[in-house]
Amino acid sequence: MKTDMYVIRLGEGERLSENLRTQLDSANMGSIASFSVSKDQPTELHFHDFDEYWYFTEGMTTVTLRTPDGTSKSYRIGPGDLVVAPKGVEHGHVPDGIVKGIQWVSVIEPGAREGHLHREL
């Protein structure tokens, strides 16, 4: 499974591919919130039982994505970039300084585990 489709350069005119759209559950826009993360508090590699979206508005960070089959890749991310982490895809990032953005998740299905989940490979 390729991770490239999970990084969308919205600021450069890219849009979600049809292939990615078919993988995602409906967005829960009631979950939308802003975030601010400093280089002193990177977001550890984790996954969810639901889809998560990060839209970056300020700063630069390195995002790592790892699929359940162990495929891992890192990306330089900045303002105007959207990172989509479908359920089960691990994601985390290490900011250069302070990064800011907006995040939201998909509708959480009954029985789904909430919070940051971790996988041993």
Kindly state whether residue 98 falls inside one of the protein's structural domains.
yes
Residue 33 lies in a domain: yes
pLDDT in tens, 61-116: 999 999 988 899 999 999 999 999 999 999 999 999 999 999 999 999 999 999 99
The answer to whether 119 touches 90, Cβ cutoff 8 Å, is yes
Query: Is residue 12 assigned to a domain?
Result: yes
Whole-angstrom Cα distance, residue 20 to residue 43? 23
Strands (E), 38-116: 43-46, 52-58, 61-66, 72-77, 81-85, 90-95, 99-106
pTM: 0.93
Can you give the pLDDT at residue 3? 83
- Provide the domain count of the chain: 1
Q: Note whether 91 and 68 are within 8 A (CB).
A: no
pLDDT over 90, % of the chain: 91
CATH number at residue 99: 2.60.120.10
Beta bridge partners of 91: 46, 65
pLDDT of residue 121: 63
- In this prediction, residue 1 has a pLDDT band, given cuts at 50, 70 and 90, of low
